[in-house]
Amino acid sequence: MNIFEIMDNLYTNTKSDWIVKADNADIQPFLIQRWLAMNDNVRVQTRKLDKYVFALPPKMYLSLAWTVLPKTQRVPYVKYIKKVEEDNGYDFILPKVRKHYDMSDNDFNANRGRIIKAIENDKVFWFSYYGVEKKHWKKHYLNFDLIKKFGNNGNLQKNLEVFKR
């Protein structure tokens, strides 16, 4: 019995005899829980099942899941959930900073939070130094005319010591 047959029986089968016939090797509670969690209609029931995924033997977990889930005529279509990429609002300047400090991938990923914090502390300096477009100034509620007063003074260091504080 594969995962799809198990999911089909969980949602549609009104008799529990299929659980006894299922092989323990085919029942993977963690995988079943993950599929159930992707269905918004049974979110409450799935949250109740969370604490039993690793605590119960596979057949007992399957029996509990079968008991808790409401029965339907057919298995609902579940769209696979993808990770939502977070946009911190500074993706337009981070490549310029990375190139300027000549950072490798690991260095950049390790210091990304510090760089963003430094940018947030003094946006006018960073935006004017790297020549950020006017639309980004407006997006961050900054006056674009500040770039004229500030000017580009090339006194930034060329190593990662700048972010040690």
Alpha helices, H only, the chain: 3-12, 17-21, 29-37, 43-49, 58-68, 94-100, 105-121, 123-129, 134-139, 146-150
Which residue ranges make up each domain of the chain? Answer: 3-68, 94-163
Q: Return the structure tokens found at 17.
A: 């005899």
- The model's pLDDT over 19-58, given as tens digits with 9 standing for 90+, comes to 998 888 888 899 899 889 888 888 899 999 999 999 999 9
Q: What is the mean pLDDT of residues 56-71?
A: 92
CA neighbours closer than 13 Å in the CB half-sphere of residue 59: 10
- Give the rounded percent of residues in the chain with a pLDDT score beyond 70: 85
Residue-level pLDDT at 75: 87
